[in-house]
């Protein structure tokens, strides 16, 4: 049976909350809130790459098992309205590490960063690891950086004490090379050669780092930023595919002529296995109770991803390009086995984690994100949010305000109620003209406070056929003549 045939109303019910009951029955999670710990919490931030909203079993995917990711959900909170700051990699990672809209920095205009050695995260800019360091934390980044290359930029220049991983946007899982066999695996600022499947190597190092920090007794943050399930489509044991992609005439690193649903599933399941090893290391060292664990993705899913119940994918401001799985556990403070309808976004994690650690943001760089701790620890009602996006390709713009979302793609504009209509099919712009025009004005006001889009920044795009397919039209269908919202 094709995957799409398995999506029924029961999956929608599962996504909107039924999975909570299943998880609670399985693990009998205690929903009481413990007293605040006397020590600052440790932090393990796990970031997948291009993972779709429903690509883990606790979000409803029926054809793979992710028991360790599900364990994070069972021990904490599963967000049903978690967003990425961008529909692509570098921009979201900029927002995540700074707590601010990525469009405030030149690096944030890259969608994604590709080959510009003079653009990166400025070392002088405050970051989550640099601010935690002032509060007595040590930190390590294990995995993907993609915010600029040496000699000007790098994790060690932006607050991390240690780095093991790769600096670019993608590498082969076996050769650890980017384009043209250029090796891109580093231990701190030293280029290294190491044999092994990269997801496993990242898991090995993350376990070692947790064990070392546990011995020190110092509070720590481990950023475990996997490249899985980003292309090339290589699962454990696929060395032959890695060799094929190195030959002339193949799809190369982008692997345009490779991959399958089964390969994609195996990539996710191997990532889940490595996450399980990290969770076991925390358990073995007695750290689980007072460790914040976050699992999420940098943007929506790509070619083989499951983004149900949304349409769209990576590089698109449709919900499927922005909605991401978002989980947090902290047994000492956060009730377990719950879901949350709180709208959250990548840049919320910096103010949230700083508050948990007793640290403060730099007053010269106030966060645009929101501290989620009151919502998580005090069980307060979700707060209404107003969030903004833009994406240079196809002149995409979006605002989420309450249940409503304004969206622009090329010259086509829409107003959706994304709570009642998550597939973004019913265009309400004529029925709700006042809401539509208000959101357009507010987007323009917000955009005026950000850096302008520039032609020099790299961006991915999608074509007219893909756009038509998303809205159930034929490629030859005439789209309505709708004015650019900047003219409103």
Encode pLDDT of 182-214 as tens digits: 999 999 999 999 999 999 999 999 999 999 999
The pLDDT of residue 461 is 67
The pLDDT of residue 481 is 31
The pLDDT of residue 200 is 98
Q: Kindly list the strands in the beta sheet with 404-409, ordered across the sheet, starting from the edge strand earlier in the chain.
A: 386-391, 396-401, 404-409, 412-417
Residues facing residue 297 across a β-bridge: 48
Residues facing residue 190 across a β-bridge: 187
Q: What is the pLDDT of residues 380-415, one digit of tens each?
A: 889 999 999 999 999 999 999 999 999 999 999 999
How would you classify residue 342: left for phi > 0, otherwise alpha for psi between -120 and 50, otherwise beta?
Answer: beta
The pLDDT of residue 255 is 87
Least Cα distance to 86 among 482, 468, 457 occurs for 457
d(CA 482, CA 488): 11
Within the chain, which residues score under 70 in pLDDT? 1-37, 461-488
Least Cα distance to 464 among 410, 408, 413 occurs for 410
The pLDDT of residue 256 is 86
């Amino acid at each position: 049976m094709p995957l799409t045939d398995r999506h029924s109303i029961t999956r929608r019910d599962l996504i909107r909350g039924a999975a909570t009951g299943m998880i609670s029955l399985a693990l009998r999670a205690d929903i009481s809130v413990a007293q605040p710990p006397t020590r600052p919490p440790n932090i393990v931030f796990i970031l997948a790459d291009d993972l779709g909203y429903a690509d883990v079993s606790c979000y409803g995917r029926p054809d793979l098992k992710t028991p360790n990711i599900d364990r994070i959900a069972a021990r904490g909170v599963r967000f049903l309205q978690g967003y990425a700051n961008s529909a692509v990699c570098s921009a979201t990672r900029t927002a995540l590490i700074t707590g601010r809209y990525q469009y405030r920095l030149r690096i944030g205009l890259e969608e994604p960063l590709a080959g510009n050695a003079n653009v990166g995260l400025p070392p002088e800019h405050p970051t989550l690891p640099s601010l935690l360091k002032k509060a007595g934390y040590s930190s390590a980044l294990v995995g993907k950086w993609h915010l600029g290359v040496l000699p000007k930029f790098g994790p060690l220049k932006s607050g991390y004490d240690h780095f093991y991983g790769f600096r670019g946007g993608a590498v082969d899982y076996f050769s650890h090379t980017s384009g043209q066999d250029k090796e891109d695996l580093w231990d701190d600022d030293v280029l290294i050669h190491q044999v092994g499947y990269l997801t496993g190597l990242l898991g090995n190092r993350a376990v070692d780092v947790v064990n070392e920090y546990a011995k020190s007794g110092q509070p720590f943050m481990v950023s475990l930023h996997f490249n899985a399930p980003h292309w090339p489509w290589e699962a454990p044991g696929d060395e032959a595919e890695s060799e094929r992609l190195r030959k002339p005439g193949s799809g190369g690193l982008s692997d345009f002529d490779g991959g399958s649903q089964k390969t994609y599933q195996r990539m996710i399941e191997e990532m889940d296995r490595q996450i399980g090893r990290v969770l076991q290391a925390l358990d073995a060292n007695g750290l689980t109770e007072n460790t914040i664990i976050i699992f999420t993705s940098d943007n929506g899913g790509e070619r083989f991803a499951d983004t149900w119940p949304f349409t769209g994918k990576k590089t698109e401001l449709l919900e499927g390009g922005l909605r991401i799985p978002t989980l947090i556990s902290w047994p000492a403070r956060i009730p377990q086995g719950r879901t949350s309808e709180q709208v959250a976004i990548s840049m919320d994690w910096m103010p949230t984690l700083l508050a948990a650690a007793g640290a403060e943001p730099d007053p010269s760089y106030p966060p645009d994100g929101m501290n989620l701790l009151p919502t998580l620890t005090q069980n307060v009602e979700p707060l209404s949010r107003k969030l903004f996006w833009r994406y240079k390709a196809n002149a995409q713009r979006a605002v989420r305000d309450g249940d409503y979302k304004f969206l622009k793609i090329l010259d086509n504009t829409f107003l959706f109620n994304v709570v009642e209509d998550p597939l973004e099919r019913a265009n309400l712009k004529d029925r709700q003209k006042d809401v539509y025009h208000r959101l357009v004005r507010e987007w323009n006001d917000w955009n005026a406070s950000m850096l302008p889009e520039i032609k020099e920044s790299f961006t991915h795009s999608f074509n007219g056929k893909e756009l038509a397919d998303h809205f159930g039209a034929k490629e030859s269908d005439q789209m309505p003549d709708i004015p650019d919202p900047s003219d409103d």
